[in-house]
Structure formats: C-alpha cells, structure tokens
C-alpha cells in the first residue's frame, strides 16, 4: 500500500468537527482517522471549551482539498484553531495519528 498524506485541522467543538469532517470527505477522496480531543488550560476563554482534531488521509492533492473544505465549513460555525498537511508521515508519526482521546474519560 502506498504511503498516504495526512491533513490535520483543529476546530472548536465536536459538532464543528463532524461538519468539517463531512465537508472534507465530500470534497475529496479521503478517509478519516479517529478524531482526537484537547481541553486546553485556557478552555474557559475559548469560543467552545473543547478542541477537536480532524485527520484526513489520502493523496496530497485530496488531503489539501479536504482540509480547505473543512476549514471553510469550520469557519462558518465555531471556527478553526490550526491546520497542517504532512505529505509523507514517518512510521512513528503515522502510529501517533491513530491515537484518540474521545474514548477516554
């Protein structure tokens, strides 16, 4: 199997993550890795006190299109924190991408 690029976008809130993930998957031929969560120390100062990481996998071109669509969708809701595209993640990075905090208390 050829190595796939990964696109990562952090958004405010779980609803925004689902909308962003849906928009990205509709815009390009990508798959989703499990969402991840982060509740930063300054959570009460944020628009929504939970940051969700949405991770897309596919070709660099598809991942780029997915992240752009996800960003547009997120900005129409609670907003985006950051985004990044990794064209060819190394094995250790690839392993970390599968981790998620949503199934933990």
Give pLDDT tens digits for 20-60. 999 999 999 999 988 988 877 777 777 777 889 999 999 99
Work out the pLDDT band at 71, boundaries 50, 70, 90: very high
Model pTM? Answer: 0.86
Q: What is the dihedral of CA 42, 80, 19, 98, to 10 degrees?
A: -70
Q: Is 62 exposed, middle or buried (CB count within 10 Å of its CB: 0-12, 13-18, 19+)?
A: buried
DSSP classification of residue 28: S
């Amino acid at each position: 199997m050829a190595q796939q690029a990964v696109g990562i976008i952090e958004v405010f809130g779980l609803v925004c993550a689902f909308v962003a993930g849906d928009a990205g998957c509709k815009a390009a031929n990508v798959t989703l890795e499990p969402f991840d969560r982060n509740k930063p120390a300054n959570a009460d100062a944020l628009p929504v006190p939970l940051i969700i990481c949405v991770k897309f996998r596919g070709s660099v071109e598809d991942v780029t299109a997915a992240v752009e669509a996800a960003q547009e969708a997120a900005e129409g809701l609670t907003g985006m924190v950051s985004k990044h595209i990794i064209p060819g993640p190394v094995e250790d990075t690839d392993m970390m991408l599968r981790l998620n905090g949503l199934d933990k208390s």
